[in-house]
Amino acid sequence: MDGEAKGVGLDCPLVVYAQWGCKPHLTKRLFKYSIVQMQTRPSHGYDRLTVEPLAGALGAEVFGLDFSKPMDAQTIAEIKRAFNEHLVIFFRDQEASDDDLARFARYFGELAVLPPHRQKPGSLPALLVIDKQPQDNLVFGWEWHSDTTHLETPPLGSVLAARLLPPVGGDTLFANQYLAYDTLSEGMKRMLGPLKAVHSNGRILSTLEADDVLPPGEGFGSKLTNLSAVHPVVRTHPDTGKKALFVNTLHTERFQDMSIAESTPLLRFLYEHSTRPEFTCRFRWRAGSIAFWDNRCCQHLALDDYPGQRRLMHRVQVRGNRPV
Ligand SMILES: O=C(O)CCC(=O)C(=O)O
């Protein structure tokens, strides 16, 4: 076989794909793709945890933890490793109070405190209560996004716990933004490299206002209206050193120094590309489930498929740095 003749090992995906009869250009593309997979998706070598990948692109269920107890240094180091390798990690059957969620988040950095009007009296200043009521038309996080990229320093990550779930529906989808970047052509990567984009909360506010569900204190005219920040279109993850695409439909308005009309066609392509099904995983919540995602290298979307039902989630976030 060609691959073997050139000294490529038998377990090399190039050989496997050639066996499937892929055309040469496709084989090359798949080969590159699988290299990314192999570098980022190991599940062995953990002592304290059991890590079970959930999908080819990202996401792993992590077993062996109890959120209701403090965790030791080795366990935290292993969670950080799983987080870096799988981008979003999931935990099952936890009895975690809000304080337990906050203690967990603090292993990764300082808590991101919410603006005063978002805080719930009597609870942690960092706790966001996401309460979709049966009569609500809109679910929080209804489109693909990274969290609050209209801020100068968007959160590093979010810890989300299920408190009350509809009988079926309300899953959350995640998409790997390293893969989104890596699978672009070299020409596109060169073009995007120096670009920056303007992110704002304008679209969220106008959608919420149109649906009449704007939280008190966020109306147009408040000082929270049209917060905006400029970020690189391709950011480098501070821990892994890898590049990730960093634009999203909810917040990105346009490229810096370009009009919306000029920016929209390319942004549309990037939104579609960055959420291709093969870059995603889907998490089905159960009572006691918790997700922890890396906002620097994945996007997510809350599925709006449970009309007339309530769903209650509690979230805390870890503060992030300015994207570079
Ligand atoms: O409720 C969910 O599943 C996700 C919510 C969301 O989009 C967020 O916390 O940013």
Q: Is 75 contained in some domain?
A: yes
Task: Output b/e per residue, 122-148; b: 16+ Cβ within 10 A.
Answer: eebebbbbeebeeebeebbbbbbbbbb
Q: Give the separation between CA 300 and CA 316, rounded to whole angstroms.
A: 16
Residues 57 and 206 in one domain: yes
Mean pLDDT of the chain: 86
pLDDT beyond 60 at 14? no
From the alpha carbon of 171, which atom of ligand 1 is closest?
3
pLDDT at residue number 118: 76
Please give the distance, rounded to the nearest whole angstrom, from the Cα atom of residue 163 to the centre of ligand 1.
13
For 233, what's the count of Cα atoms within 13 Å in the CB-facing half-sphere? Answer: 23
Residue length of the chain? 324
Taking the C-alpha atoms of residue 275 and residue 301, their distance in angstroms, rounded to an integer, is 10
User: pLDDT tens digits, residue range 150-180?
Assistant: 999 999 999 999 999 999 999 999 999 999 9
| Domain presence at residue 265 | yes
Alpha carbon distance, N-terminus to C-terminus of the chain: 45
Evaluate if residue 117 carries a pLDDT over 80.
no
Task: Compare 70 and 221 and report the one with higher pLDDT.
Answer: 70
Residue 217 has pLDDT above 80, yes or no: no
Q: Is residue 30 part of a domain?
A: yes
| Residue 160: C-alpha distances to residues 34, 139, 292, 302, 315 (Å) | 30, 15, 6, 12, 4
Residue among 40, 31, 38 nearest 6 (CA):
31
- Give pLDDT, residue 202: 81
Torsion-angle region of 270 (φ positive above 0: left; ψ -120 to 50: alpha; else: beta): alpha
A 10 A CB-CB count for 61 gives: 17
Active site residue 25: no
Tell me, yes or no, whether 60 and 36 share the same domain.
no
Asked whether residue 295 is domain-assigned, the answer is yes
| 324 located within any domain | no
- pLDDT top residue among 118 and 184: 184
How does pLDDT run across 253-295, given as a tens digit for each residue? 999 999 999 999 999 999 999 999 999 999 999 999 999 999 9
Residue 181 phi, psi (nearest 5): -70, -50
Instruction: Tell me, yes or no, whether 153 and 290 share the same domain.
Output: yes
Residue 24 has pLDDT above 60, yes or no: no
Closest CA to 241 of 156, 324, 149, 147: 324
What lines the ligand 1 site, CB under 6 Å?
Answer: 130, 140-141, 147, 158, 160, 172, 300, 302, 313, 315
Question: Do 163 and 29 belong together in one domain?
Answer: no
Least confident range from 71-75, 84-88, 117-121, 146-150: namely 117-121
pLDDT of residue 215: 65
Contact 150, 229 (CB under 8 A): yes
Residues 156 and 269 both lie in one domain: yes
Cβ-defined contacts of 23-29 (< 8 Å, 24+): 29/183
Quote the pLDDT of residue 10.
30
Average pLDDT on 133-150 reads 93
Q: Is 33 a residue whose pLDDT tops 60? A: no
Whether 190 and 66 share a structural domain = yes
Entry pTM: 0.86
Label residue 201 by pLDDT band (50, 70, 90).
confident
The pair of structure tokens assigned to 28 is: 């090359």
Collapse the DSSP code of 28 into the 3-class scheme (helix H, G, I; strand E, B; otherwise coil) and give the result: helix
Domain count, the chain: 2
Residue 66 domain flag: yes
Same domain, 313 and 204: yes
Indicate if 55 and 122 belong to the same structural domain: yes
Is the domain of 34 the same as that of 94?
no
Among 86, 103, 145, 314, the active-site one is 145
Q: Which of 133, 249, 300 to mutate to test the pocket of ligand 1 (most atoms within 8 A of CB)?
A: 300
Domain shared by 104 and 221, yes or no: yes
So what's the pLDDT on residue 31? 42
Residues 35, 78, single domain; the answer is no
Atom of ligand 1 nearest to the CA of 313: 1
* pLDDT for residue 28 is more than 80: no
Residue 300 annotated to the active site: yes
Where residue 235 sits, what CATH number does that domain have? 3.60.130.10
Q: How confident is the model over 45-52, as a mean pLDDT?
A: 93
Q: Whose CA is nearest to atom 7 of ligand 1?
A: 141
The pLDDT, as a whole number, for residue 212 is: 61
State how far the Cα of 189 lies from the Cα of 143, in Å rounded to an integer.
Answer: 25
* Token representation of residue 109: 């950095």
Tokens representing 113 are 């405190």
Kindly state whether residues 28 and 173 are assigned to the same domain: no
Q: Is the pLDDT of residue 45 over 70?
A: yes
Domain span at residue 31 reads 1-40
Q: What band does 114 get if pLDDT is binned at 50, 70 and 90?
A: confident
